[in-house]
Amino acid sequence: MATGVQRPVSGEVPTRSGRPVQVRGLTRRFGDRAVIDGLDLTVEPGEFVALLGASGCGKSTLLRVLADLDRDIDGEVRVATRRAVGFQAPRLLPWKKVWRNVVLGLPGRPDRLRAEAALAEVGLSHRVDVWPKVLSGGEAQRAALARSLVREPDLLLLDEPFSSLDALTRLTARGLVEELWERHRCAVLLVTHDVEEALVLADRVLVMDGGRIAHDAPVDAPRPRDLTEPRLLAQRADLLARLGVTEQHHRTPEGEHA
């Protein structure tokens, strides 16, 4: 796995067999405020990691640093060169057909066959030649996911990609991401506010607080996961407590008060 390096750094760059994410002492300041403050993080090849935290804790800032969209940092950041990013908004260019959006930015001439294969994986074979404006919200996010997968990344960074979707579409999109991850086995770092989403999808759940990773725990339940299983219920309660959410103010996956 090839790796890219973001400055300032120390030490040697990992080899192709290295971890897709290795961060040591990362600090990102905005004025006098350190949004990220001496953060350490490692993600193993093929690992699915979910990152939780209160709004403003620095989750999205961390993802931007890992995506090489923010270089005004201190510390050591080593990230797989072959990486892709999925944002809250699909960010499709309205003046390009869907298939051209999928291969946008790839070297060489636009490869329609490659785009068609990626769109087929996300169930959009029938939308190859349409304009983005005719896509539903769920379809647009699937097209954005196809755009990420066509790059064959070693690391997929997802910044709350389901947040704008309705509840049913969100469940479908969540299932699709899990299916594609199991097929491709790239490492995934998912930023989310949704505790249930983290427990359903991730191998490991992190909680960010005070600019650092304050909690790091594996999710040991077998897949597919049943959120009514006692150990997942216990982990859910623990995560909610760490996020400062009381049970009476949180809804279960079925939409009823816990």
pLDDT digits (tens, 9 = 90+) for 157-209: 999 988 888 888 888 888 999 999 999 999 999 999 999 999 999 999 999 99
Average pLDDT over residues 1-23: 55
Average pLDDT over residues 208-213: 94
Angstrom distance (rounded) from CA 11 to CA 80 = 16
Angstrom distance (rounded) from CA 213 to CA 236 = 18
Angstrom distance (rounded) from CA 187 to CA 140 = 23
Provide the terminal-to-terminal Cα distance of the chain, rounded to the nearest Å: 43
pLDDT at 251: 52
Sequence spans of domains, the chain: 45-69+82-246
pTM: 0.87
pLDDT at 51: 97
- Kindly report, residue by residue over 114-167, the tens digit of the pLDDT: 999 999 999 999 999 999 999 999 999 999 999 999 999 999 999 998 888 888
- Kindly report, residue by residue over 216-255, the tens digit of the pLDDT: 999 999 999 999 999 999 999 999 999 988 765 555 444 4
CATH code for the structural domain at 45-69+82-246: 3.40.50.300
